Amino acid sequence: QVQLVESGGDLVQPGGSLRLSCVASGFTSGYYATGWFRQAPGKEREGVSCISASDGITYYTDSVKGRFTISRDNANNTVYLQMNSLKPEDTAVYYCAAKYHPWWNIGCPSNEANYWGQGTQVTVSS
């Protein structure tokens, strides 16, 4: 049974940093792409950043480019989202997702995800 477990969400002041982690288990191979999505109250879930299974191809939504960095440690089945220069508009529940395919389509559409984590709350406020 596939499981994705996120951690690292917190309350942080504007301009601060957080690192989210997502540990994957239950996959029979490393042949899966992963990504981070977020959903703010009253808004649709959006793809924040995603990364391919093994060749490091990444995508970032425009609003986080230059501030967020996605990475993955395949040896430990973990994907990270380093978030710097956080803004109040980054406040949301952040979800880790995985797709049983090595790549995402452009924009990492959420309907391509096969598995989801439970989410972790990120609040950016002074």
Cα–Cα distance for residue pair 122/54, rounded to 1 Å:
28
pLDDT digits (tens, 9 = 90+) for 90-101: 999 999 999 998
Q: Is a pLDDT exceeding 90 seen at residue 78? A: yes
Span 111-119, mean pLDDT? 96
β-pair partners for 25: 3
Cα–Cα distance for residue pair 6/78, rounded to 1 Å:
10
Cα–Cα distance for residue pair 25/5, rounded to 1 Å:
9
Q: What is the mean pLDDT of the chain?
A: 94
Tokens encoding 72: 């993955």
Tokens encoding 83: 């978030």
